[in-house]
Amino acid sequence: MELETLRSPVNFLQHMLGALPHERALREYESWWETEGKHISEATDRAGTPWLRMFDRGGRRVDEILFAPEYWRGLRQGYKAGVVWRAFADQSLSASALLDYITCFYDPGLTCPYVISLATAVALDQHGTEALKARFLPPLLRRDDTVWQGATWMTEIKGGSDLGANVETVARPAGDRWLLTGDKYFASNAGADLAVVAARPEGAPQGVRGLALFLLPKRREDGQLNYTIRRLKDKVATRSVPTGEVELRSSEAWLLGSPDRGVHLILEVLNLSRATNALGSMAIAQRALAESADFAGQRIAFGKPVFDHPLMRKQFDERIETLQDGFALGWESILRLNEVWREKPPYSDRYHLFRLVAHLAKYWTSDVAPQIARWAMEVHGALGILAEFPVERWFREAMVLTIWEGTCHRQILDGLEVMERKAAHRLLFEQLREAADPIDLAEMRRRVDVHLALPQAQREAGAEEMFRALAIFTARTVRHAAVPAGV
């Protein structure tokens, strides 16, 4: 791969996918990042946690999150480019996903509000009443500076993986709406205009089956704040997204869908984010490799550029192969999501296939991206650990994406569940049959079947080796398919 391809997210996307939808808009967005956005992103990362102004001068609660004015200009650039509205205009998630990839190459933190705003809009459009959609969807789809932001608040203090046990927010019916009371501990995009929130209706059973999904605006109908922000988190990276602790105190909300299907709607939101997270991890890996290639081409050691030493060049080539494999797997999850994002429960087999591919993609890409970013620091030698140079940032950013939307451990267990209960692996093998080597496919099929036949405890304890092999097999198969998947 030529260095110019590695330096440019759009060139890389074209290298991997061929013709791109809305290519002119993608290049204009990349150009903005190169001329303005890079500097804004670097300043935001160095400045650290944004400041929360809780009260105005009259003592009224305002909970205003303070960034530099340039930050807000940068944030709105992506919304205007179409990270949310293009999905609805095109009836496809492809263009939104490509814009997210470009964003993550330059600033992974900004990708978070874009993705969860899209997830909020999709959940509302899919499961809201006509009245709710008429009231709240248009502001999310605006193409100017007045656009609303969304958020997805599920996690509470006990953790995010076991939602059935850890969600203690209670929803109480109040006429045509509900009143929510509880605390969300890791609320990304705190300050959002609209959020989808997991809560348990009064009297609902314990466990995940008792959860429901609600739409919660920033302000009540009387104009007062509908939630408050206790504090903002000081994170190692993704500093361009304000993450905080949100307090709900009889906060007005509206039920989305049926309360007995709430867990399915919650997982729809999470799985959309997981697919885009996979691409984001690869964007970080590309950025880290681009920074390293530039440095290695300039640093002279033992009479020639570091990049020209055979071992170093081999290591670059291996990681570029991994980058391309990881992107192919992440893009496959977007393609599968494109087929099913309009489905409602009960889901088709295609939806369960998407789930498996999303878990494989999120698991493997978020695992290899920090490895590539750490190696990029090593290429820089001692300079790699200095905060004044850019490469150490990409390791910090990659580590956050490993945790967002469920750790690698969570992806393995959820992937195992969809194989055990829905036989999604068989659907996957059927989809890969024409592109895969028959011998390799038969061996992978045998390996998965043998693993799923193990006793439960043994099956879970040994799942990662099998899951990793399946992820790599799928990535390499879809990348080298005879007929490109396209966009």
CATH code of 127's domain: 1.10.540
In a domain, 236, yes or no: yes
Question: Does 240 lie in the same domain as 196?
Answer: yes
| Domain-terminating residue out of 259, 286, 321 | 259
In a domain, 356, yes or no: yes
Q: Cβ(258)–Cβ(201) under 8 Å?
A: no
| Residue 153, phi then psi, degrees to nearest 5 | -110, 105
Question: pLDDT tens digits, residue range 108-143?
Answer: 999 999 999 999 999 999 999 999 999 999 999 999
- What is the average pLDDT score of the chain? 96
Q: Which long-range contacts (CB under 8 A, 24 or more apart) does 9-18 make?
A: 9/101, 9/102, 9/105, 9/106, 9/283, 9/286, 10/102, 12/286, 12/327, 13/98, 13/101, 13/102, 16/324, 16/327, 16/328, 16/331, 17/331, 17/484, 17/485, 17/486, 17/487, 18/484, 18/486, 18/487
In a domain, 224, yes or no: yes
Q: What is the pLDDT of residue 197?
A: 98
End-to-end Cα separation, the chain, in angstroms: 21
Helix (H, G, I), strand (E, B) or coil at 216: strand
Name the pLDDT band for 162 (thresholds 50, 70, 90): confident
Question: pLDDT tens digits, residue range 225-259?
Answer: 999 999 999 999 999 999 999 999 999 999 999 99
Domain that holds residue 177: 150-259
Q: What is the pLDDT of residue 48?
A: 86
In a domain, 145, yes or no: no
Q: How many Cβ atoms sit within 10 Å of the Cβ of residue 116?
A: 26
Question: Does 457 lie in the same domain as 329?
Answer: yes
Question: Does 296 lie in the same domain as 227?
Answer: no
Q: What is the pLDDT of residue 164?
A: 85
Question: Does 293 lie in the same domain as 202?
Answer: no
Task: State mean pLDDT over 158-179.
Answer: 92
In a domain, 83, yes or no: yes
Question: pLDDT tens digits, residue range 269-310?
Answer: 999 999 999 999 999 999 999 999 999 999 999 999 999 999
Element (DSSP H or E) covering residue 361: helix 349-379
Question: Does 163 lie in the same domain as 267?
Answer: no
Q: In whole angstroms, what is the distance from residue 309 CA to residue 422 CA?
A: 49
Q: Cβ(243)–Cβ(232) under 8 Å?
A: yes
Question: Does 238 lie in the same domain as 303?
Answer: no
Name the pLDDT band for 487 (thresholds 50, 70, 90): low
Task: State mean pLDDT over 39-58.
Answer: 94
Q: Render 375-437 in DSSP notation, one character per residue.
A: HHHHHTGGGGG-TTSTHHHHHHHHHHHHHTTS-HHHHHHHHHHHHHHH-HHHHHHHHHTTTS-
Question: Does 221 lie in the same domain as 157?
Answer: yes
CA distances from 260 to 22, 204, 209, 351, 476 (A): 40, 9, 7, 19, 39
Q: What is the pLDDT of residue 1?
A: 82
In a domain, 485, yes or no: no
Question: Does 319 lie in the same domain as 193?
Answer: no
Q: What is the pLDDT of residue 57?
A: 96
Question: Does 267 lie in the same domain as 232?
Answer: no
| Domain-terminating residue out of 202, 231, 259 | 259
Q: In whole angstroms, what is the distance from residue 30 CA to residue 36 CA?
A: 10
Name the pLDDT band for 159 (thresholds 50, 70, 90): confident
- CATH code: domain of residue 389: 1.20.140.10
Q: In whole angstroms, what is the distance from residue 480 CA to residue 78 CA?
A: 32
Question: Does 379 lie in the same domain as 289?
Answer: yes
Please say if the pLDDT value at position 482 is more than 70: no
Give alpha helix (H) positions in 48-142. Answer: 69-81, 85-90, 94-106, 108-127, 130-140
- CATH code: domain of residue 220: 2.40.110.20
In a domain, 253, yes or no: yes
Q: Return the residue matching tokens 């874009």.
A: 114
In a domain, 115, yes or no: yes
Percentage of the chain lying above the pLDDT 70 cut: 99
Task: State mean pLDDT over 264-268.
Answer: 96
Helix (H, G, I), strand (E, B) or coil at 148: coil
Q: Is 351 left (phi over 0), alpha (psi -120 to 50) or beta?
A: alpha
Closest CA to 364 of 341, 396, 333, 395: 333
For the entire predicted model, the pTM comes to 0.96
Question: Does 22 lie in the same domain as 58?
Answer: yes
| Domain-terminating residue out of 228, 259, 290 | 259
Please say if the pLDDT value at position 4 is more than 80: yes
- Contacts of residue 252, defined as CB under 8 A and 6 or more positions apart, other chains included, come to 174, 177, 178, 179, 216, 217, 220, 221, 226
Please say if the pLDDT value at position 484 is more than 80: no
Q: Cβ(336)–Cβ(348) under 8 Å?
A: no
Instruction: Find the largest Cα–Cα distance for the chain.
Output: 78
CA distances from 161 to 164, 267, 474 (A): 9, 11, 25
Name the pLDDT band for 481 (thresholds 50, 70, 90): confident
Task: Count how many domains the chain has.
Answer: 3
Question: Does 77 lie in the same domain as 218?
Answer: no
- Contacts of residue 437, defined as CB under 8 A and 6 or more positions apart, other chains included, come to none
Percentage of the chain lying above the pLDDT 90 cut: 94
